[in-house]
Structure 1
Amino acid sequence: MQKKKQPRPESASRGLKVLSAGMLSMALGACAVPHKPAEVATPAHLTPATPSTRDLVQLPPPKGKVTVAVYGFRDQTGQYKPAPDSSFSTSVTQGASSMLVKALKDSGWFTPVERESLQELLTERRIVRALDGSQGEAAPAIHIPALMPASVLIDGGIVAYESNVRTGGLGARFLGVGLSTQYRMDQVTVSLRSVDIRSGRVLQAVSTTKTIFSYEVRPSVYKFVNFKDLLEIEGGVTNNEPTQLCVKEAIEAAVIHLTVQGLKDRNWLLKDESDWNSPIIQAYLREGNTYAINVADLPPGGAAAIEATPPVTEPPPN
């Protein structure tokens, strides 16, 4: 009778080591992801607020709202996403005019009137007028008020989108355990101006720039657990700022600067003149005053001296 071979103790020990290494790899892989992945179905929610959104809704109230018209806020960059993403997809959103209208309305300083879909609006008004007289004798007459005219035209567009303005990274490895990181910076620029419809004179013109930041963190383990078995573990986390949120923030910042410049030029007025000293208005005034100042023209102490200057206690005269 043939005797059955017994398993070697070395083979069993090696199998236990491989099993332990596999379980360790699974545990480290689970720990490498700091956040739970998004579910397949998530509920819709309002667009997240940006720092400019918070400043926009906290502006002091005006003496009277300004009726403004927005005919379009176009993408003037002419750029498309590089291949292999898509050769026909644009780099920035094409719905910037909707963002601008919402920012103007959220500010509490402007009353936007519909102009982008003016043809559809006029068609609906003609349909309502066609119903007048075709109703029964007891039906009330249909009266359509006149369209509200605008006193200021808001125009501009997304004038630039620059990719890879700055890139870089850093990494280190010791005894097979390492960590590396990479980052990339893009940049979007928005131009906005207000025009007096009576004279065609440009009242204010501002330009705002927002940086789009992306980074990646990748930990890794590469080492031999014994003479013949190699353990290799990799993980990674990538965070990309949404381009449309950066465009939205740049538009909202431009609306705030446009409003503050209009206050400075007395194109519109505050409800309470003491609100001229509010922190939001003074902060944007300082940023506007230090715009395009040459470093050689800075006073002793540099930009910090400008920031330390006391606020303007009275609004500019008429």
Structure 2
Amino acid sequence: MDTLAMPVFPAVFRARRLCVSALVTLTLSACALQKPATVSNEAHLTPATPSTVDLMRLPPPQQKIVAAVYGFRDETGQYKPSPNSAFSTAVTQGAASMLVKALKDSGWYVPVEREGLQSLLTERRVLRAVDDHPTDGSQKGQVPNLLPASIILEGGVVAYDTNTRTGGLGAKFLGIGLTTQYSVDQVTINLRAVDVMTGAVLNSVSTTKTIFSYEIHPSYFRFVNYYDLLEIEGGYTHNEPAQLAVKEAIDAAVMHLTVQGIKDNLWRLKNPNDWNSPVIQRYLNAEKEYLTVTKREPAQPEEAAATTDSSH
């Protein structure tokens, strides 16, 4: 009897281990399937970008600029890669609304409605019809004229480059491993100010914002015994919202355009001493660095001689 009962104990122990492993797996799966706590939070204002903060810290102008935005389109023509969606665009189509918001936040511009001009004109015709036939016996009123703009802001999202930089790193030791991957995208904005009276382009700026995404993937892989294998995996992914990147690029473009206009005496500060404010000086230094980098170095004597010989 003892000889026949001996082989039963390893099988019983193995069955117990399998049950315990199954219970642990189900517990971990239940934890993994729990809803994140931040999914059901209430709506809030869109977070302010660093460029938005700079816009709100601009010193006041001598006189606000009436600006019109007829459209600020997505000129990239790019769509999200499969399998996400073959019909969704890679960048937001509401860049014009973001531009109007940036102009309003700066305190330097009075944006006038032009993108929905047809709706505005229709409503004004309704007001004129009411004025021509008042129902309360009052005298005929007059609808004021629309506010004309002094500049038109044109441009759009001119580039969206995916995976401009990618990379990763991983290591494993004794079944314990950690891998990480990252990718960098870039969105480019072009903004220009056009004089309504002459059609001349007063200033034009381009800003670029990187969109950073990364993934961290820890894992644990180990044989508990000859028959049983324990494997634990986790992961964390962070993707910077593309619409916030577009918003920051637009805010930075408005900031650079305003500072360039102050420098070129296209518009003036209310207090001339505010020219030395840290916000304005920081953007002027950024422009100086840009001009220093892009300025072509003078040709060396050997290069000049080679150019002269080739011309002969």
TM-score (norm. length: structure 1):
0.84
Compute the displacement of 1:223 (Å).
Answer: 0.6
C-alpha contact (below 8 Å) 1:184/1:213 kept by paired residues = yes
- Distance of 1:21 and 1:60 partners within structure 2: 66
Conserved 8 A contact 1:32-1:236: no
1:11 offset after TM fit, Å? 4.0
Which whole-Å CA distance do the structure 2 matches of 1:282 and 1:245 have between them? 25
Q: Which residue of 2 aligns with 1:186?
A: 185
Work out whether 1:211 is the aligned partner of 2:186: no
Structure 2: how far apart are the matches of 1:105 and 1:241? 25
Counterpart contact for 1:81–1:88, Cα < 8 Å: yes
Q: Measure, in 2, the Cα distance between the counterparts of 1:277 and 1:20.
A: 70
1:275–1:29: structure 2 CA closer, same or farther, 3 Å change rule? farther
- Contact 1:25/1:233 (<8 A) preserved: no
1:233 partner amino acid: I
Flag the structure with higher helix content. Answer: 2
Give 1:316's aligned residue.
none
Give the Cα separation in 2 of the matches to 1:199 and 1:295.
Answer: 30
User: 1:124-159: CA deviations, max 9, x gaps?
Assistant: 001110112322463243321110001111111100
Check if 1:110 corresponds to 2:134: no
User: Is the Cα contact below 8 Å between 1:191 and 1:207 reproduced in 2?
Assistant: yes
Within 1, Cα distance between the matches of 2:26 and 2:222? 16
Note closer, same or farther for the CA distance 1:139–1:6 as it changes in structure 2 (3 Å cut).
Answer: farther
Aligned partners of 2:115, 2:295: CA distance in 1, in Å?
45
Shift of 1:51: 1.2
Match of 1:225 in 2: 224
1:39-85 CA-partner distances (Å, limit 9, x unpaired) = 55432111111111111111111111110000000111111222222
Matched, 1:161 2:160: yes
**Matches of 2:161 and 2:86, distance apart in 1:** 17
Q: Which consecutive residues of structure 1, in runs of 5 or more, have no partner in the other structure?
A: 299-318
Match of 1:48 in 2: 47
Residue of structure 2 equivalent to 1:122: 121
Distance (whole Å) between structure 2 residues aligned to residue 267 and residue 229 of structure 1:
76
Amino acid paired to 2:241: P
Name 2:74's counterpart in structure 1. 75
Equivalent position SS for 2:132: coil
Q: Which runs of 5+ in 2 are unaligned?
A: 298-312
Which residue number in structure 2 is paired with residue 14 of structure 1?
A: 14
Cα distance, 1:66–1:296 mapped onto 2, change above 3 Å: closer
Structural mapping, 1:1-318, within 5 Å = 8-22=8-22, 37-38=36-37, 41-136=40-135, 138-294=137-293
Secondary structure of 1:61's counterpart equals coil
User: 1:32·1:235 contact (CA, 8 Å) conserved in 2?
Assistant: no
TM-score between both structures, scaled by the size of structure 2: 0.86
User: Residues 16 and 274 from structure 1, CA distance in 2 versus in 1: closer, same or farther, beyond 3 angstroms?
Assistant: farther
CA distance in structure 2 between the aligned counterparts of 1:158 and 1:131, rounded to whole angstroms: 42
- Where 2:157 maps in the other structure, the secondary structure is strand
Counting aligned pairs with the same residue, the percent is: 59
